[in-house]
Structure 1
Amino acid sequence: MRGLSDLSRLHVYQKVIIVFVAMMLPVYLINLWMNMSGVSFMKKGFSDSILSNVQFYSNQLNDQFTFVRTLQLQLINDPDLLKLSFLGGQLNGFDDYQLVNRLRDRLFTVRDSSDYLANVGVYVNSFGRTISTQGGIAQLPNSEYSLISRYTEQKPPQPIYYDEGRLFFIETANNGSIVVYMELSSKNLEATVSNLVKLYHDSGALLVDGRQNSAISVMTGGPILNEMKAAIAKRGDAERSVDSYMLTANKQNYMVAQTHISALGLTLYTYMNQNEVTEPLKRFNAWFTVLSFVSLAIVIMFSYSVNLMIHKPLKKLIRAFKNLETDNLIVSLQQHGDNEFSYLYENFDRMVLKLRHSIHENYEQQIALQHSELKQLQSQINPHFLYNSFFNIYMICRSGDLDSASTLAQKLGSYYQFITRSGREEVTLDEEYRHALDYCDIQGIRFSNRIEVEAEELPELCKPLEVPRLIIQPLVENAFEHAFESGARRGNIYMKAAFTGGILSISVEDDGSTMTDESLLEMQDKLDHVSQLPEKTGLLNVCRRIQLRFGEQSGVFVSRSSLGGLKAEIRIHYEEGEQHVPDLDRR
């Protein structure tokens, strides 16, 4: 609910922009979703393509080496090989030569049947020699036999033997009396594996056995190898046809694909930097960034257009209405063109013109009525003090104190000279303050000087300020009559004035004890609603006259005094240019 309330306080153009952005947002989000979906789809396509290539080449290798293994098994059962093993050293002469040559031709045939074979050979224990396509017929010991003999030391024997960078298929028969070995072509094998990764710079491939020994590696290097070894040790040798996962090395993401080649007993691993794979996708991000900036530019241009075409004309119209609220009728809106705001401005000017005529017709009558109310309120305060003053003179004369009676009469004359001297409704604060002090002197005689009045010197800044007549004296009178009238106790009254920030403050405080908290609240409530009360005397009279002259924010305010009694304070808010010295010629 609070959010809706805050939204309702926004300007019209702000609401229009919010609605426009709200309408643009789904379009932007749809584009964002399409971009992310497209990127995800293309990434999946790349991943599937890479996995498909890995699987294709792994299947090709597996088929080729299955075929090679089949040839090896056929070779180990070759009749000539078995005959040579059976006869051994018993053969001699032409028969020996023909048998060995036929076997050697058979070895060349097997080698030429596959591009992945570099050398094919056999070892016949009874014959005491090795026969191969590379070494020919060689007596023992020789390098090929030394390599083959180390194969028998593997426990358990592996289907493929890796030694000194060379790969061999080795198979034995007749309790090791016959050994058929086939050396794989590392060059051709590397060429086949490199087809998987040759399109990317930061990529590589390797064939790894179960002991994590690398048999073949292509374009491998960098910190990714350590991460791969750790992942291989953790995941184990994959038996699935193909598998892939992501690794991070040196703040780079790599896609690793692995597949098991059962014919070799090795696992093929390939890795590729994802940034290289997804390089074409950056174009989508670039275009989406362009779209984002274009959308932002559209929102800004639309906001500026709405501000220029709607908000500024409305703001101009609202400013004119606010000037009108301050009774400033010298306001006019002129708009060139033919649009809705031209119509509004024209009719606003007509309305202001009619108001001027109406106010001009009723101004004198309104001022007369207000002046009559002011005079009525002021007339209520003049007789009030006169009755008590004459009674005081009468009582002092009867007591025989002629000096006091004379002083009182002189002060009383000066007092009434001030309030009847002219018809001016406003005087300077200096005159009003001295008049209040004259009143204090009169009351001092009346109360036999048991009431001490302390009045601060009026600041020079305050003296020329214009105030309505007879506004301070009623506050002092209230202190005398309501705080000390009922008893013979001594009392104190404190007066001061100040002018700060365009606000005049005049306070009268007493240390009387008759004002209760309930009475104080009741008095303040009356002052707050003084315009609604039928009878306005004393402080209510002063408050109403001040409000009629200076507005509702000015008036009389009561509170508990720091002396313990009542504090009555006049506050007058001056507008700029109001705090001027009155024209003395009018006196």
Structure 2
Amino acid sequence: MPLGSLFQSIYTKMVVTLLVAVLPFYLIVLQINRSDATGVRDGVAESVRSQAHYYLSSLETELSQVIKFQQQLSASPELDTLSNASEIMTNEEKRQAVLAIQRQLIQLQSMSQYIADTTAYLPDLGTMITANQTYRDISESERESLQRFVRPSAAALIEEKGRLYICYSNSYLFGVAIPSFVLTIELDRERLAAAMDRFKYNGVGIAALFGSEDGWRVASDGSGEERASLLRAADAAGGIGPTAVETLHTEQGDYLHYSERSAFLGATFAVFVPEKEVLGKLKANRDRIRYVSLVSLLIIAVVSYVVYRLVHHPLRKMIVAFRQVGNGNFDVSIERSSKDEFAYLYRHFNQTIRKLQELVYEVYEQKYRTQTAELKQLQSQINPHFLYNSFFTIYRMAKFGENDNVAQFSKYLGEYYRFITRDGAEEVTVQDEVVHARTYTDIQLFRFHDRISVRFEDVPEALARMSVPRLTLQPVIENAFVHALEKRAEGGLLDVSFLLTEEEEAVIAVEDNGTGLDDTALEALRRKLQSAGQSGETTGLGNVHRRLRLRFGEKAGLRLSRGALGGLRVEVAFPSSNR
């Protein structure tokens, strides 16, 4: 392409225009965001990671000391005597033992701010001692909970009826089925949740502990909607992620997500910080971005106008021209003064439309001539057997003095030949076509009235007004007489019915009870019918099938099948939208 033509190219103009508009804006914004966003995000991520690790380590250390003291309490002589030899103790000894045990439970409770209560269960006695209440009977629900407390667990924390416990019993030591005592430490979920509030960023975000075995969780305070959305997203992610800060997508937006698992506690600690808060330092850059955006908008406005002049306007002109062609207007022509690609397209578009117009007229004229020739060919094909049989019938009736029958027969014969030989309209209504078909069957019944019966259904009013090519139904009925019914000695039956389907299709069915139609013969008839359209056959069923398809399209034509009467069923099908 010459250098001058290169600069006139629409492609070159579009590329240069878009580069001028986009490149400066892209480079400025990219530099600003790279310099600030990366540093802010990495700093917050490191802070969250270190704080979360410190919190989890501190919680493990604190609770491990509590568990050690709990195990030491299990070796208390007062607890051992009261749980195993209470029947030989006096009431005063029991009272002193209970007080001693309670003092140790109170000491255990004071070891951590996260402990809500400590309890010693004595199942054999049916009683329990707590740090908050001295001595009372074990309730039925608490007895059920004991089954969970004595079950072995690898996790330090277990959940029972919405409460978190650290449990210990002497069944762990001696392997007995029913322990003589069970020590439990109930953790204060509200204090655990309150301690997690320190991980909020600018007062927002969520921190949570997720239990591995029971699926329990303790979460810090937050708005109900934000908290529910985060916990659903965490549950969907299993509550556990790698020990690296990642982005978690929720209904409330994107959050920086860090989690760390504690095998000792049997739980995972997770922190969720809103990204929009983390990137708050970038607010100072918004003014700069606004200035750049204003300049970009001005550039875009200018570019849009240029693009409209260069591309949109000529494209719209071509689209309008295509729509006119689609509506059947082949006289359209479009011009362009400049020497670019659109001028080339316009020129070839006009040439294509002119050529297409010539081809359409040629095809239409050829189709019209073909249909006219086929109809005239069918009209000219007077079956000699039918003609001389008709004369013999007139002769026989005249010989026997059946003057009324001769008159009626002659009338039918005249109407028949007038219909097939007349010039004029190539299409007739279905009603006229049925009347002609009835005339043909009336003529045949003069010869075969004692051997053949003909039954016509009433033509539906909507179907009667539709148009079809002339000589559509009578050749189908003639085929049934010649190939199926004339050979029968008696009991011949011809049935003509009409149908309008929900698929907007009209069907005229011609069915006989002829014999000798097996599957092989039926398939041969179908193949012959399909090849008629390709070979240009102009006689019989092939002629009717071909003319129906030329008139109504590929979905119209004849369909052959085995009928309910046992003979051939021929369906003449065409669109019911035709009037």
Please classify the TM superposition score into its range, dividing by the shorter chain length.
0.3 to 0.5
TM-score, length-scaled by structure 2:
0.47
TM-score, length-scaled by structure 1:
0.46
